Amino acid sequence: MKNFQVIITIIFIAAAVFGLLVFSGAIKIGSSGTKGVQGTVVLWGTVKTQSIATALDDFNSANKTFTVKYVQKDPATFDQDLLEALASGQGPDLFFLPDDLVFHYSNKIYTIPYQSYPLTSFKNAFAGAGEVFLSSNGVLAFPMTIDPLVMYYNRGMLNSNSIIYPPKTWDEFQGLVPLLTKKDESGKIAKSAVALGQFSNITNAKSIISTLFMQAGNPIIAEKNGSFVSTLNSNASYSTIQLDSILNFFTSFADPSKDVYSWNKGLPNSSDYFSSDNLAFYFGYASELQNLINKNPNQDFLAAPIPQIKNSNFKTTAAKVTGIAISSRSTNITTAFTVASLMATGDFASKFANALLVAPARRDLLSAKPTDAFFPIFYNSALYAKSWLDPSPNDTDNIFRNMVENILSGSMSTVDSVKDASDKLYLLLAKYK
């Protein structure tokens, strides 16, 4: 039955793409052969060329009428390089688009209308995190990969404290923190259960807070009357739990007067502290696995899903999503459109996800879980992961940082800090509109 469902899904995706290509004019019904799908299309991305060289060679070999030329760009300058290239008319036909640049590039992308690729077809084909590429007018990119936030845990620290399994809910999590956090004779933290409560020395702090907000039902940003608005100060409309309560929970781990006190700004970066066997739980992305192994090859750790709110009706974790987008400035839209479609729905998608060591975005590929120690967790988490339309990663980092530090310093109440963050997010969305 499972194999049958996978086959049906693949057929459904193929049929949707075929209809899309017919609608776009890439395939002419009744003609002998495919017209207009030819030439060379240039694809930009930050993935290392050698990581996808074989997959790209296989793709080009299977498609004789066109060629894809991949250009590797520096992640640090990708955004600026792409902006300048598109402005000068020398930009690529396609580019691998990270979710945190969707808002920034929405007016530079060829949007696929829902008349040609229905919303239902998209949702049946791709996991929910890929919906960050949806707009009111159509599809901005085909989702390729999902990199979910998971909970890495130190098995030795749990075993030493007779903890059999990692916690599944935040209530369970809170109960374990006092057991796992160890202090020296002067009261300083010697080993910590978890890095929460601060911002500057916590890797993925914004993603952790975003996860908590989304678990409460708040999407952070939503589209309203054709414009994007902040939902942080709209608790009654979106959240099952008030966001100020969520922030009180988060910052409690940095409060020395609380039982769950386990982190302060004097400790090392959370990723390094975990790799030195001094941190029991570390919230990191699937793509961080190899780096964690490299830091300490002898460390005994595994991954588990992010804890959830007790008795919640749904599961959520944050994710980084990568899609393949078509430049509206492309001089070969037909071929670029065909390439993007075929890459997203063919074997290339699986090979691309494997190259990045993350989960694929397609549902049929997520149904075929690997059997190693980590990737089943990554694949399961990808199914319920979510992303949000970040207008400017650096600016929102500062907004979230200030939201936390205003509370820790006592300069603002949690209620006022959420309102201040929401107001700043409104202004940021207006700036980049």
**Together in a domain, 20 and 76:** yes
Q: Cα separation of 400 and 269, whole Å?
A: 18
Backbone angles phi, psi at 350, to 5 degrees: -65, -45
* pLDDT tens digits, one per residue of 44-85: 999 999 999 999 999 999 999 999 999 999 999 999 999 999
Tokens of 268: 């090392």
**Together in a domain, 216 and 108:** no
What is the predicted pLDDT for the residue at 22? 44
**Together in a domain, 152 and 102:** no
Q: Cα separation of 333 and 70, whole Å?
A: 17
Query: What CATH number should be reported for the domain holding residue 363?
Result: 3.40.190.10
Over residues 122-133, the mean pLDDT reads 97
**Together in a domain, 91 and 160:** no
Over residues 171-179, the mean pLDDT reads 97
Q: Cα separation of 243 and 235, whole Å?
A: 7
What is the predicted pLDDT for the residue at 44? 97
By C-alpha distance, which of 79, 64, 7, 71 is closest to 33? 64
Place of tokens 């793709």: 59
**Together in a domain, 74 and 142:** yes
At residue 20 the predicted structure's pLDDT band, cuts being 50, 70 and 90, is low
By C-alpha distance, which of 95, 67, 68, 102 is closest to 81? 95
* pLDDT tens digits, one per residue of 295-314: 999 999 999 999 999 999 99
* pLDDT tens digits, one per residue of 405-422: 999 999 999 999 999 999
H/E segment holding residue 150: strand 142-154
Where residue 43 falls (left for φ over 0; alpha for ψ -120 to 50; beta otherwise) is beta
pLDDT above 80 for 210: yes
pLDDT above 70 for 14: no
H/E segment holding residue 8: helix 2-24
**Together in a domain, 296 and 326:** no
Tokens of 357: 């060591």
Q: Regarding beta strands 189-194 and 221-224, do their DSSP bridges make them parallel or antiparallel, or are they unpaired?
A: unpaired
Tokens of 419: 């309102």
By C-alpha distance, which of 337, 338, 319, 320 is closest to 328? 337
At residue 236 the predicted structure's pLDDT band, cuts being 50, 70 and 90, is low
Q: Cα separation of 77 and 46, whole Å?
A: 10
What is the predicted pLDDT for the residue at 11? 45
**Together in a domain, 140 and 182:** no
Other CB atoms closer than 10 Å to residue 142's CB: what's the count?
A: 27
What is the predicted pLDDT for the residue at 240? 78
SS3 69: strand
At residue 241 the predicted structure's pLDDT band, cuts being 50, 70 and 90, is confident
What is the predicted pLDDT for the residue at 34? 47
By C-alpha distance, which of 411, 416, 394 is closest to 233? 416
Name the domain count of the chain.
2
Over residues 125-145, the mean pLDDT reads 96
pLDDT above 80 for 334: yes
Q: Cα separation of 21 and 13, whole Å?
A: 12
Determine what percent of the chain is predicted with pLDDT higher than 70. Answer: 91
What is the predicted pLDDT for the residue at 37? 83
Please identify, among 382, 398, 413, the residue that sits at the C-terminal boundary of a domain.
Answer: 382
**Together in a domain, 291 and 342:** no
Arithmetic mean of pLDDT over the chain: 91
At residue 29 the predicted structure's pLDDT band, cuts being 50, 70 and 90, is very low
Asked if 237 and 231 count as a contact pair (C-beta separation under 8 A), the reply is: yes
pLDDT above 80 for 134: yes
**Together in a domain, 309 and 406:** yes
**Together in a domain, 81 and 194:** no
**Together in a domain, 230 and 115:** no
* Residue 65: domain span: 2-147+320-382
Q: Regarding beta strands 94-98 and 39-45, do their DSSP bridges make them parallel or antiparallel, or are they unpaired?
A: parallel
pTM (2 decimals)? 0.91
Q: How does 212-244 read in b/e, with b if 16+ C-beta sit within 10 Å? A: bbbbbbbbbbbeeeeebbbbbbbbeebbebbbb
Q: Cα separation of 408 and 285, whole Å?
A: 26
Using the Cα atoms of residue 337, residue 339, residue 345 and residue 349 in order, give the sign of their dihedral.
negative
Backbone angles phi, psi at 189, to 5 degrees: -70, 125
What is the predicted pLDDT for the residue at 193? 98
Q: Regarding beta strands 112-113 and 94-98, do their DSSP bridges make them parallel or antiparallel, or are they unpaired?
A: unpaired
What is the predicted pLDDT for the residue at 227? 84
Residue 399, CA distances (Å) to 49, 206, 269, 300, 390 in order: 35, 9, 20, 36, 12
Tokens of 380: 């399961």
What is the predicted pLDDT for the residue at 2? 46
pLDDT above 90 for 1: no
What is the predicted pLDDT for the residue at 432? 74
pLDDT above 70 for 255: yes
Over residues 335-362, the mean pLDDT reads 96
What is the predicted pLDDT for the residue at 191? 97
At residue 10 the predicted structure's pLDDT band, cuts being 50, 70 and 90, is very low
pLDDT above 80 for 97: yes
**Together in a domain, 63 and 138:** yes
